[in-house]
Each structure stands twice: as C-alpha cells, then as structure tokens.
A and B are shown apart, each in its own frame.
Chain A
Amino acid sequence: DSGVTQTPKHLITATGQRVTLRCSPRSGDLSVYWYQQSLDQGLQFLIQYYNGEERAKGNILERFSAQQFPDLHSELNLSSLELGDSALYFCASSVDLAGGTDTQYFGPGTRLTVL
C-alpha cells in the first residue's frame, strides 16, 4: 500500500458526460501528479500540482482540468468524454523537495470506461 488513495476504483459512463476523479496524497507529500494509461499510448503524464499550484503540464487535453485543494487532495475533471478517454487514470504523490525528481508513489488507479 503506497498511501495514495484514489476514488472511485471503477467508473463507467457515456460519451459526452463529465466525471471527477479524486486523489488523496500520502501524508506529508505536497505534489500530486496525474497520469493516463491506455493500451495504445502507454503511461502519459497529464499534470502536476504542488501545494495547490499548477507546476507542470504534460499531454493534458483542454477537456480535462485538475486542481489541488488546501488539504492537498486533488481532483481530475474530465468533460465531454469520448470513447478514446477510456483508460486507467493514476494519481501519484511525492514530497517534491528536489525539483520534481523525488520518488513518486502511485495510487491504485481509477479505471474509466466510456461507452
């Protein structure tokens, strides 16, 4: 158990809908990262938040957004969902005292299925 929690574990929804994925980092970790893992794209970095502020952006679509709250939990919002958004979404956290090179600990993931 990494100490990172994600809810829900599974999510099934329809195209065009909007969903919110939630992540709680390990105690003491200030950074939260979101990743998408699909069969054809591998593990793709989406976005990082550090202590409430966006720090780095990867291949995140404009339909996707995220935020980190004062209690450091984070939410990833996916809107206007398409079939291709079906994937495993991971959250990871790190202490991030070394400029993004600290070990990231991953949550169990949320499996999103868009029908």
Chain B
Amino acid sequence: AQKVTQAQTEISVVEKEDVTLDCVYETRDTTYYLFWYKQPPSGELVFLIRRNSFDEQNEISGRYSWNFQKSTSSFNFTITASQVVDSAVYFCALSANTGNQFYFGTGTSLTVIP
C-alpha cells in the first residue's frame, strides 16, 4: 500500500528563519515518484517538484531545497530565509506504477510571521 505522512500539521516561523517540512512515505514499489505542492491562501495547488526513486541527489531551486533519503523513506523540503509569501499549506505526494494514482499527505500549514 502507498502512504504519505506529514506529521507536522502546523508550523510558524519568523521571517528569514529556515524551516524544514517533513515527508515520510511508504511503498513497496521500486519505481516511484515524489512530489511537493504548495497551496497558498488563494486556494490553488501549485506544483513545486517531482523526483524519481532512482535519483537521490538533493535539489536546490532558489530558496527551496529538497532532501531525498531512501534509507529513511523521507523527502523533506527546506525553505531558506523564509518570507511571508511562503505562508501556505504544503503537500507531499507519492505516485507509483501500482495503484495509478497520487497519494497525498495531509499537508503542513506554514505561517511565516513578519
């Protein structure tokens, strides 16, 4: 069975602090994909990153970075020097060939305080 756990329900940080959002996944597939989406207060879901199970290299995009560790089944997301515009709900998702659908975590609500 496929499952994604985002244990942090809500996080608050002060602007310019770094923050890490945790994502732990479960799957028996050897080929799978992990995603992060952002849902700002306006409500739309914005795609941030897609990573396949064979690529464990960390990825950095501006202030965003992702740490994929197969050994701990985690795909954590770090925002460096957080800004108020980063305030949103962030979802981690898993997709594998078995099941043919996305499995979303319950989301982490991030509030960046100015």
Contact = CB atoms under 8 A, between A and B. Distances in A.
Nearest to A99: B97
Counting chain B residues whose Cβ lies within 8 A of the other chain, the interface size class is 20 to 34
A99 to B, nearest CB: 5
Contact of B33 (A56, A101, A109): A101
Interface of chain A: mostly helix, strand, loop or mixed: strand
Contact of B47 (A33, A43, A90, A105): A105
A56 B106 contact: no
Contacts of B47: 2, 103-106
Contacts of A108: 43-44
A105 B95 CA distance: 14
A56 B84 CA distance: 38
B100 interface: yes
A58 interface: yes
B110 to A, nearest CB: 16
Contacts of A107: 44
Counting chain A residues whose Cβ lies within 8 A of the other chain, the interface size class is 20 to 34
Given A42-B106, A43-B91, A106 B45 contact: yes
A90 B45 contact: yes
A64 interface: no
A100 B107 contact: no
Contacts, number: 55
Nearest to B44: A108
Given A100-B100, A101-B96, A104-B102, A42 B45 contact: no
B107 A88 contact: no
Contact of A43 (B43, B95, B104): B104
B23 to A, nearest CB: 14
B64 interface: no
Given A2-B46, A42-B106, A100-B100, 10 more contacts: A33-B102, A43-B91, A43-B107, A55-B100, A101-B96, A106-B37, A106-B46, A107-B44, A108-B43, A109-B43
Interface of B: 32-33, 35, 37, 43-47, 50, 91, 95-97, 99-104, 106-107
